[in-house]
């Protein structure tokens, strides 16, 4: 019985979820799932697509995805991507409670990715303020040789419900490569 509980919860959550499908043209498609308390905005700039996810209500969290299509796969191993994420996080780390960028692995269905968590020392112990986030996770996902996603999740805590919903959306995304011609 315990083995079936996670599958039951996943099925129940999917009944309440909305799906945002992002067409990547010749690079495939991505489907993101969240409940209907979130709104998606997708902007296509040709060489990249930017997705912003914001709450419809009072939740103090947001997510930004920048999807690019590199000509060369320079982050073709987990180690290279992990190092890149840590190097990119160094500037933020120096101003954070953590003091250092330490890459954590996303639990993805397709591809691989890493993120670093940072906490704003000026906001620790203070009440939440709309649009002023206590925590940020910044990272990258390598979905395919020609699909790279930069991820930023901002919230009032890593264990807060809005943060966990956004992290779950990222880790539950479905990628479908374009059909070979």
Q: Provide the residue ranges of all domains of the chain, joining segments of one domain with +.
A: 18-176
**From 3.40.1000.10, 3.60.15.10, 3.40.640.10, 1.10.101.10, which CATH number describes the 18-176 domain?**
3.40.1000.10
| DSSP-based three-state secondary structure for 176 | strand
Residue 62 CA, chain-centre distance (Å), reads: 10
Would the CA dihedral through 54, 64, 162, 126 be positive or negative?
A: negative
The position carrying tokens 């780390």 is 93
pLDDT tens digit sequence for 90-111: 999 999 999 999 999 999 999 9
pLDDT tens digit sequence for 78-89: 999 999 999 999
Q: Are 19 and 172 in contact (CB under 8 A)?
A: no
Residue partners of 24: CB distance under 8 A and separation at least 6 = 30, 49, 67, 69, 147, 178
End-to-end CA distance of the chain: 45
Place 180 in a pLDDT band, splitting at 50, 70 and 90: confident
Alpha carbons 129 and 170: distance in angstroms, whole number: 25
Alpha carbons 48 and 70: distance in angstroms, whole number: 10
Would the CA dihedral through 129, 118, 105, 67 be positive or negative?
A: positive
pLDDT tens digit sequence for 156-172: 999 999 999 999 999 99
Alpha carbons 118 and 36: distance in angstroms, whole number: 28
């Amino acid at each position: 019985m315990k083995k079936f509980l996670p599958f039951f919860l996943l099925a129940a959550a999917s009944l309440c979820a909305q799906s945002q499908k992002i067409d990547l043209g010749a690079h495939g498609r991505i489907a993101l799932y969240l409940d209907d308390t979130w709104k998606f905005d997708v902007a296509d700039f040709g060489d990249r697509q930017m997705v912003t996810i914001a709450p419809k209500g009072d939740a103090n969290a947001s997510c930004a995805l920048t999807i690019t299509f590199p000509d060369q796969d320079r982050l073709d191993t987990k180690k290279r991507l992990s190092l890149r994420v840590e190097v990119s996080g160094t500037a933020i780390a120096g101003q954070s409670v953590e003091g250092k960028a330490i890459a954590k692995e996303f639990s993805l269905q397709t591809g691989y990715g890493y993120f670093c968590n940072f906490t704003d020392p000026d906001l620790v112990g203070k009440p939440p303020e709309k649009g002023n986030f206590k925590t940020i996770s910044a990272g990258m996902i390598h979905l395919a040789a020609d699909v790279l996603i930069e991820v930023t999740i901002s919230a009032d805590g890593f264990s807060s419900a809005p943060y966990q919903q956004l992290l779950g959306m990222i880790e539950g995304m479905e990628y479908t490569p374009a059909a070979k011609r």
